Chain A
Amino acid sequence: MVTLTINGQDHELDVPDQMPLLWALRDVVQLTGTKFGCGMAQCGACTVHLNGEAVRSCVTPVSQAQGREITTIEAIGDDEVGQRIQQAWLDLGVAQCGYCQGGQIMSATALLNREPDPDDAQILEAMAGNLCRCGTYNRIRQAIHRAAGHEEEQA
C-alpha cells in the first residue's frame, strides 16, 4: 500500500512501489488530466508538481511521491499563480489540440512560483522539456509574460 497526497487529499493505493506516478494518477485514481506522451521524460505532457516543483510523473515511481504534496492540472487553479496562468492561456487562445497544455501549464506555474519575473531566456529554459506538436510555442511564451504582468513583451 502506498499513501499519496493528491490535490490535498490522501489516497491509499494498492500498487507496486515502482509504478510511475502517471499511471497511478490516471488508471487508479482516475485523474486523467495528466497525460501520457512518451514515458521517458522527453515531452512533459505528464508534468505534475511535487511540493510545488515540476516533475515528470511518467518517470517518478509512486514510492518517491509518497509523503509529498502532489498537485495535478485539475487543482492548479487553486494556486493563485496557476489561476493566472490558466487565464493567460485562455486570453491568448494558446491551446490548439490541448493535449500537452496541462503539462505546459504545470511547468509554467512552477516557473512563475519560483521566478515571478522571468525573462525570455528563463522562459525558454523552463519550457524546454514540454513538447507541443501543434506548435503553440509563441503563444505559450506570450502567455507566461502576460501572467507575469509583462506588458506587450512580445509582438
Chain B
Amino acid sequence: MSTHRNGLLLANVSRRHFLKGLAASGALVIAARWDLSLAQDEEEASYGADGMPHGWVDDPNVFIRIDEDGTVTVVNHRAEMGQGIRTSLVMVVADELGADWDRVRVEQAIGHEERYGNQDTDGSRSMRHWFDPMRRAAAAARTMLEQAAAEHWDVPVAECHAGVHMVIHEPSDRELGFGELAAAASQLPVPERDSLRLKPRDEWRYIGRENVKTDRPLAIDGEDIVTGRALYGADVVLDDMLYAVIARPPVYGATLASVDDSAALAVPGVIRVVEVQGTGQPAGFEPLGGVAVVAENTWAAIEGRRALEIEWDTESAGDNASYDSEAYRQLLEESAQSPGRVVREQGDIEAALADAETRLEATYYMPHLAHATMEPPAALARLVDGKAEIWAPVQSPQAARDGVAGRLGLEPEDVTVNVTLLGGGFGRKSKPDFVLEAASLAREFEGRPVRVQWTREDDIQHDYFHAVSVDRLEAGMDGDGKALAWRHRTLSPSIGSLFGPDPKHKVDFELGMGFTATPFDIPAMSLENPEAEAHVRIGWYRAVYNLPHAFAIQSFVAEMAEAAGHDHRDYLLELLGPARQIDPREINEGWNYGEDPERYPVDIGRLRAVVEKATEEAGWGRKLPEGRGLGLAVHHSFVSYTAVVLDVEVDDGGEVIVHNADIAFDCGPQVNPERIRAQMEGACVMGIGNALHSEITVSEGRIEQDNFHQYLIPRISHAPRTVRVHLINDSPEAPMGGVGEPGVPPVTPALCNAIFAATGKRIRRLPIGDQLAS
C-alpha cells in the first residue's frame, strides 16, 4: 500500500477492516488494466493520483458515452459540493474530445473505485489528479471517432480530424457527426496511451477560458439550482419512504443507559423507536449510536424525538465527560511552555535566542469549529434481498459503500451508493457516519426506504470538529531586526484519534499542513509538537491544520515586523529570502500533500510572486483614514500559493468592516478560472468567519452551541464589499495545485493584521468576538 503519501492511511486502514473477503488492494490494481507495465513503473513512485487508493483510470469506455443523436455523456466520479467539478472535469473532456458544450451531459458515478479509480473528494485534488487521466480518456475517444470515420470513408486516418462534434475529411470535404460515428467507434480498441495526441493549448475552447459563450450555461447544475430542481441528499423521494431522526449521546463515547419512548410513540405519525448501535471510541466513520425515531414524515420524527426520555451512561466516555474547552485551552498554553517532540531543527536555537538583541514571544489560539454545511447530513437507504441501495451527499462514496457493507454484513458489490449533490462539504461529508445510520435503520425496515435527517442541532453538536489549537512562537532578532531564531510549538488534538489509540501528537499529514515546511530563511529554527489529547471527534475542516498554522505564523511575522520597525511586506519578503526551490525532504517534510517532491518543491519564488501581486494590486503602503488598515498574509498549501491583502475598518463599536480583498493566487495551470475565482471569493468569506465569530465550546463534554443563533457563521454584511482575485502563473510548465482549500488559511491572519494596522490591537485568540469593543 502506498496510501501514506496522501495522509489517508489511517482512514483507509480503518475502512478496510470491513472489506471481508476482499484483499486490501494496491493503489494501482485497477488503473493497471489498461497498461500494466506503466502502472507498475509508477507504483514505485506512488505520488499524486498514483498514491491514492485505487489510483486513477483513463479508459474512455468508463467515462464517456456518445449516443446516436450526438449527445455526449460524461461520467463524473467526483463529488460536487460547490467547487464546480461537475462542470470543470466535463470542460476537460469536452475540449479534448472536441464536443460542443450544448450537446454534453453529465452523469454522476456511483461509488465504485475499482471502476473509476479514487473518488475521495477531499484534499483539493480532483483537478490536479484527474486533469491528465480525463484528457487521455477524451483524446482516446476522439482518436476512436477519427478511426471510425477513416474506416467509413476508406481513407487514411491521418486525413481525418475531429472538429466541433464531428470528424472532417478535408481532402474530400466530407464530415460525419460524433453521433453517426459512435456505434462504430465503440467497437474499436482503445488506442495505446503513448500514441495519443493531446491538444495544445491554442486548440482549447473551454479549458482556461473565461466568458465562454454557450447556449446552455457553462455551469452544469446552474439552471437546476435556480429553479429548485437540483437534488441534494434529502431530496430523493421514494415510494413508501420512512423518515428518521436520531438522539445521539451528548458526550463522545457515552452510551444509552435507558429510554422511555411511550410519549414519543404517542406522537401522531411516529411509527417506531429503534436503538442505533454505535461503536464507541474511536468512532472512525461509524455512527455514534443512540435512539432513532422513525415516522411518516420528518416533522413527526422531530416531535417524537423531543418526547423521548433518555438516560445516557457517560462512564464509557472516560475523560471526555469532563472535557472543558476553556480548561483545555489553558492546559495547551501551559504545555506550550515546555519543549515538545522536535519535528524540524536547524542551527542552535538556544544559542541563537540567547544571542538575540530582541526577543519576541506570542501564543495564538484557535477554537474548535463546526463545518455547518448549509445542507445538514441526510441519507436515504433501502435494503432489499441482501442488496443495499443508498442515496447520499458523500465526499467519499467508496468509504460509504465499504462502511455500509461492513455494518450490514454484505459484500461491497452488494451496496450501491448513489451520490447526490452535496449542499456543502468542507470535509464533513467525507465521513459517512450518517449514511451508516440510515443503513442500520434500513435493516430494521427491510424493503422500505428510510431517510435519516440530521437537524441543525445534530449537525453542530455531533460534528467531526476542527481541531482546537495553540501555537506558541518565539523569535530572536539582531539590532537591525533581522531574524536569527524561530521557535514554533504547535499543539492540537489529532484526527488520528478517530481511528486508533490517540496519538496525542499531530501526525505527518497534519504537521505537513503549513508547519513543517515553514518557508523562512532563518539561521536557527526549532519546530516542535508537544502532546495534546482528543476529547471529541476531530475531523478535516476545509484547509484543516493549515488554518491555525497560517494564523499563528502569519500573525507573528507581522508582530516581528512591527517590533523591528519594518514594513510588514518588506519584512515578510526578507524572511522568505530569495526565489529558490526547496526540496521538501530537505526540511523534513516527507508528506508534501502526497505529491512528488521533485515536481512539487516548496517554491519561494511563487510565494514571493503572490505577495508582490496582492500588495501591488491593493496599493500597499497607501494612506488610509483613521480606523482603517491593510493586512497581509501569505500561505502555501495544497501545493498552491495564496496571498491576501484585506482593507479593513474597525468602527467605534468594534465592528469589523472588510472593504476590499485582493487575493493573488497561483495554482499553476487554470482549468476553470471563473470557478477558481469563485472558490477564492468563498474562501475569503469563510476565513473571515473563522476569525470573527465562529467558535465551538465544550463543557462537561457537551457542546454548548446548537444552532446558528449560537454558532455564528458569516452573513452577507461580513463579506468584503469587493473581492478582486488575481490569478497568476497559468503556465503549462507549472505543476497544477489545489483550489478548494488554499484560499482560506491566509485570510484569517490577513484580517487580524489589518485590524492591528487599523487599531493597534493585536488579536491572538480567536474568535475576535467582542475583543474590539471598548
Q: Which residues does A use to contact B, with CB under 8 Å? A: 15-16, 19-20, 23, 26-28, 30-40, 42-43, 45, 72-74, 77, 86, 89-90, 93, 95-102, 105, 123-124, 127-128, 130-141, 154-155
Which segment, of B141-149, B633-641, B709-717, faces chain A? B709-717
Q: How far is the CA of A72 from the CA of B226 in the complex (A)?
A: 11
Q: How far is the CA of A141 from the CA of B685 in the complex (A)?
A: 14
A71 to chain B, nearest CB (A): 11
Determine the main DSSP class of B at the interface with A.
loop
In the assembled complex, 20 residue pairs joining A and B whose CB atoms fall closer than 8 Å, in A order, are A19-B299, A23-B299, A28-B297, A32-B228, A32-B234, A35-B232, A38-B707, A39-B456, A74-B229, A93-B218, A95-B221, A95-B225, A97-B374, A97-B421, A99-B424, A128-B717, A132-B716, A134-B82, A135-B685, A137-B715
A131 touches B708 (CB 8 A): yes
B453 to chain A, nearest CB (A): 7
Q: How far is the CA of A90 from the CA of B214 in the complex (A)?
A: 12
Q: How far is the CA of A133 from the CA of B683 in the complex (A)?
A: 10
Q: Mark B7-42, 1 if CB is under 8 A from A, else 0.
A: 000000000000000000000000000000000000
Contact of A38 among B268, B456, B683 (CB under 8 A): B456
Q: How far is the CA of A89 from the CA of B235 in the complex (A)?
A: 22
B475 within 8 A of A: no
B-chain residues with CB within 8 Å of residue A140 when the two chains form the complex: 716
Q: How far is the CA of A72 from the CA of B299 in the complex (A)?
A: 19
Q: Which of B372, B683, B724 has the most CB of A within 10 A?
A: B372
Determine the main DSSP class of A at the interface with B.
loop
A127 touches B297 (CB 8 A): no
B453: nearest residue on chain A (CB-CB)? A36
Contact A137 B719, CB 8 Å, known A42-B707, A74-B229, A97-B424: yes
A45: nearest residue on chain B (CB-CB)? B374
B-chain residues with CB within 8 Å of residue A134 when the two chains form the complex: 82, 374, 424, 682
Q: Which of A74, A97, A124, A138 has the most CB of B within 10 A?
A: A97
B374 touches A43 (CB 8 A): yes
A132: nearest residue on chain B (CB-CB)? B374
B-chain residues with CB within 8 Å of residue A19 when the two chains form the complex: 297, 299
B219: nearest residue on chain A (CB-CB)? A93
Q: How far is the CA of A99 from the CA of B456 in the complex (A)?
A: 14
Q: How far is the CA of A105 from the CA of B226 in the complex (A)?
A: 7
Q: Mark B297-334, 1 if CB is under 8 A from A, else 0.
A: 11100100000000000000000000000000000000
Contact A130 B716, CB 8 Å, known A90-B217, A90-B223, A138-B681: yes
B422 within 8 A of A: yes
B230 within 8 A of A: yes
Q: How far is the CA of A26 from the CA of B689 in the complex (A)?
A: 30
B296: nearest residue on chain A (CB-CB)? A27
A98 touches B724 (CB 8 A): no
B374 touches A93 (CB 8 A): no
B376 within 8 A of A: yes
A40 touches B709 (CB 8 A): yes
Q: How far is the CA of A90 from the CA of B224 in the complex (A)?
A: 10
A124 touches B456 (CB 8 A): no
A136 touches B678 (CB 8 A): yes
B719 touches A135 (CB 8 A): yes
CB under 8 Å from chain A, chain B span 219-263: 219, 221-232, 234-235, 237, 243
Q: How far is the CA of A90 from the CA of B268 in the complex (A)?
A: 42
Contact A98 B227, CB 8 Å, known A40-B707, A128-B716, A131-B708: no
B228 touches A74 (CB 8 A): yes
A135 touches B714 (CB 8 A): yes
A-chain residues with CB within 8 Å of residue B708 when the two chains form the complex: 38, 40, 42-43, 131
Contact of B715 among A36, A89, A131 (CB under 8 A): A131
Contact A42 B81, CB 8 Å, known A72-B228, A90-B219, A135-B719: no
Q: How far is the CA of A90 from the CA of B243 in the complex (A)?
A: 34
Q: How far is the CA of A141 from the CA of B225 in the complex (A)?
A: 18
B289 within 8 A of A: no
A22 to chain B, nearest CB (A): 8
B426 within 8 A of A: yes
Q: Which of B82, B297, B674 has the most CB of A within 10 A?
A: B82
A27 touches B722 (CB 8 A): no
B489 to chain A, nearest CB (A): 32
Q: Which of A86, A98, A102, A128 has the most CB of B within 10 A?
A: A98
Q: How far is the CA of A141 from the CA of B221 in the complex (A)?
A: 21
Closest 9 CB pairs of A and B: A33-B228, A135-B685, A99-B423, A97-B82, A96-B82, A73-B228, A98-B225, A135-B682, A137-B719
A59 to chain B, nearest CB (A): 12
Q: How far is the CA of A89 from the CA of B223 in the complex (A)?
A: 9
B376 touches A36 (CB 8 A): yes
A37 touches B376 (CB 8 A): yes
Q: Mark B502-544, 1 if CB is under 8 A from A, else 0.
A: 0000000000000000000000000000000000000000000
B-chain residues with CB within 8 Å of residue A133 when the two chains form the complex: 372-374, 424, 426, 686, 713
Q: Mark B659-688, 1 if CB is under 8 A from A, else 0.
A: 000000000000000110011011111100
Contact A136 B235, CB 8 Å, known A102-B228, A127-B716: no
B505 to chain A, nearest CB (A): 31
B160 within 8 A of A: no
A24 to chain B, nearest CB (A): 8
A-chain residues with CB within 8 Å of residue B714 when the two chains form the complex: 135, 137
B-chain residues with CB within 8 Å of residue A77 when the two chains form the complex: 227
B-chain residues with CB within 8 Å of residue A16 when the two chains form the complex: 268
A155: nearest residue on chain B (CB-CB)? B722
A154 to chain B, nearest CB (A): 7
Contact of A32 among B218, B235, B243, B456 (CB under 8 A): B235
Q: How far is the CA of A89 from the CA of B373 in the complex (A)?
A: 21
B678 touches A93 (CB 8 A): yes
A127 to chain B, nearest CB (A): 5
A-chain residues with CB within 8 Å of residue B221 when the two chains form the complex: 95, 98
A33 touches B686 (CB 8 A): no
Contacts A42-B456, A135-B689 supplied; 12 other A-B pairs, CB < 8 Å: A33-B228, A39-B456, A42-B707, A43-B374, A96-B679, A100-B374, A131-B374, A133-B372, A135-B682, A137-B719, A138-B722, A138-B723
B423 touches A35 (CB 8 A): yes
A74: nearest residue on chain B (CB-CB)? B228
A138 touches B373 (CB 8 A): no
B300 to chain A, nearest CB (A): 8
Q: How far is the CA of A138 from the CA of B725 in the complex (A)?
A: 12
B217: nearest residue on chain A (CB-CB)? A90
B720 within 8 A of A: yes
B719 touches A95 (CB 8 A): no
Contact of A89 among B226, B299, B374 (CB under 8 A): B226
B322 to chain A, nearest CB (A): 30
B-chain residues with CB within 8 Å of residue A154 when the two chains form the complex: 721-722
B423 touches A95 (CB 8 A): no
Q: Which of A26, A35, A133, A154 has the most CB of B within 10 A?
A: A133
A-chain residues with CB within 8 Å of residue B715 when the two chains form the complex: 128, 131, 137
A-chain residues with CB within 8 Å of residue B684 when the two chains form the complex: 135
